[in-house]
Amino acid sequence: MLPTNIFSVTDFIKQHDHIRYCEAIIHPDGSIQYAIPSHQSILMHLAYGVDVQDESEDALDRWNEAWQKMRSEIDRRNNDVLSFLADKMNVVVVWYETQLLPKNVTQKQRFTLALLRNHKIIAE
């Protein structure tokens, strides 16, 4: 099962202890969660309710259905997977050195990014 720990930006900053490393997702309300096991896994879970770590036959069937649906949508929009999922879920995909922004970034997401930069959790 994928982790569901979603933090306020203040709580995230208080407990973040990595130096020059941050892989996270910022939700439209400005809350943030670590991208564990990966950005794509978390976003597939948010967008389609699939858990890539669940290897049961039902889960694999759901994964395949979601993947086929997503691929057809990506092909129509000419996107890559992470850009498509970021736009679909309106989330910011965060790495220490760069961020992938959705088309409609919220003010709360911008505020969270600014705080992360101010506290040197992500690079300028």
Structure tokens at 20: 């020059």
Q: Where are the beta strands (DSSP E) in the chain?
A: 24-26, 32-34, 92-94, 99-100
Q: Could you report the per-residue pLDDT of 63-102, keeping only the tens digit for each?
A: 788 888 887 777 666 678 899 899 999 999 999 999 999 9
Number of domains in the chain: 1
pLDDT single digits (tens) 15-68: 998 888 999 999 999 999 999 888 988 998 888 887 767 778 887 788 788 888
| Domain membership of residue 66 as a residue range | 9-118
Q: Does residue 103 lie within any of the structural domains?
A: yes
Q: Is residue 2 part of a domain?
A: no
Is residue 124 in a domain?
no
Q: How far apart are CA 119 and CA 116, in angstroms?
A: 5
In a domain, 78, yes or no: yes
Sheet containing 32-34, strands listed edge to edge, beginning at the edge strand earlier in sequence? 32-34, 24-26, 92-94, 99-100
Which residues are CB-neighbours of 118 under 8 A, at least 6 positions away? Answer: none
